[in-house]
Chain A
Amino acid sequence: MFIHKNIRNDAITSIVQSIPLVFAATPFAIVYGALGESLGMSFWLIIAISMLVFAGASQFIALTLLAAGTPIGIIIFTVFLVNIRHMLYAISLVPQFKQVSSWVRIPMAYTLTDETFAIVTNKMQQQPNTHFVAFYLGSALFMYCNWALWSGIGFYVGSEFSGLKELGLEIAMVVAFAGIVVSQLKNLSHYACLLVAGIAAVISIDWPHQSGLLFSAFAGIATGLVVEYQQGNDQPDKKGEHHA
């Protein structure tokens, strides 16, 4: 009974903590639906892509390429490139998934997003006793239902909200992610990782298909590792000096 209560509480906490991120994703769903309508696509194709593919940036790119008459194989390959980052998230969640039963892994993997990865890894670090599956699915399913719902609504009313993107609702995502990053900064190596990833992000902004995101993330991770290794080497020296 206690376990059940914990599961429920963790799922509710997860949903509450996801509200800003869901809020930030909503205008994108509306604009996506509206884009589909303006390109003359059917309502059901737009909804099917949102429910089956469930990957924001990829969906925009797919519609744009489709409208430009791009061959299907190239569209699919581009979508693959844009989504490789999810593999990075999935690998870093591997330790948490070891105890999860194999059939639950499928819906969890299906609904993996930037947002859910961010709040789940943060939560598991801050409070390792959190029920992983409940917390994960609370956020992921909330994001999923919201995305499908507003894609559909966007198809019908999106053209009336053309000013929506100018409101800058992405700020909700920016500040939520900023809070998570700050809470993770503990060692010099973490700051080094942040600095290099940030600079690389500016340099690679124009690179196609999220390759800049992957490149910058790897640059930051590599820097963090090098600094951590250097510091590990420095420590015995410092100790030696202290004793001398």
Chain B
Amino acid sequence: MLDSIYLVLGMVLVTFLPRYLPIALSSRLQLPPLLVKALQYVPIAVLTVIIVQTSFFQGGNLSLHYSNPFLWGLAAAVACAYIQKNMLLTIVVGMAVFAGAKTFF
């Protein structure tokens, strides 16, 4: 029981501090210009990694094959986002194509 409490407290500490410290210091923090420039790439870089690691792999193996429905859904979403700006439409089209590919292949 005491071990569980230590575990939870420890986890709270190490998950909250990385989230909170930069934000807590934000009023006093003057970010160097190079860092500000670097930060504009954070969303593209991180989200691309999450997308690739979720959709290019099946059961831990690289699967760049037409039988992988994630590739179809992803391709449809990317095409849709290029053509128009409506995010909801992009998501619906991507999921529909995924569902179709999952059924057919």
Tell me the interface secondary structure of chain A in the complex. helix
B residues less than 8 Å from A173 (CB atoms): 50, 54
- Binary contact track A12-35/B, C-beta < 8 Å → 1, others 0: 000001001000000000000000
Number of B interface residues in the complex (CB < 8 A) = 70
Q: How far is the CA of A171 from the CA of B93 in the complex (A)?
A: 11
Q: Which of B38, B77, B102 contacts A175 (CB 8 A)?
A: B77
Number of A interface residues in the complex (CB < 8 A) = 86
The reply to whether B46 and A193 contact each other, CB–CB distance below 8 Å, is no
The reply to whether A224 and B51 contact each other, CB–CB distance below 8 Å, is no
- Binary contact track A30-45/B, C-beta < 8 Å → 1, others 0: 0000000000000001
- Binary contact track B42-57/A, C-beta < 8 Å → 1, others 0: 1111111111111111
- Binary contact track B11-25/A, C-beta < 8 Å → 1, others 0: 111111011111111
The reply to whether A72 and B7 contact each other, CB–CB distance below 8 Å, is yes
CB distance from A72 to the nearest CB of B (A): 5
Q: How far is the CA of A178 from the CA of B42 in the complex (A)?
A: 14
The reply to whether B94 and A105 contact each other, CB–CB distance below 8 Å, is no
B residues less than 8 Å from A55 (CB atoms): 15
CB distance from A121 to the nearest CB of B (A): 5
- Binary contact track A152-192/B, C-beta < 8 Å → 1, others 0: 00000000000000001011111111111111110001100
The reply to whether B39 and A92 contact each other, CB–CB distance below 8 Å, is yes
Q: How far is the CA of A179 from the CA of B8 in the complex (A)?
A: 36
CB distance from A63 to the nearest CB of B (A): 10
Q: Which residues of B contact A (CB under 8 A)?
A: 3-4, 6-8, 10-16, 18-27, 29, 31, 34-57, 60, 62, 69-70, 73-74, 76-78, 80-82, 85, 87-88, 90-91, 93-95, 98, 102
Known contacts A86-B15, A97-B23; 13 additional CB pairs below 8 A are A87-B22, A94-B31, A95-B26, A110-B16, A173-B50, A177-B51, A179-B87, A179-B94, A189-B41, A193-B48, A194-B44, A200-B49, A225-B41
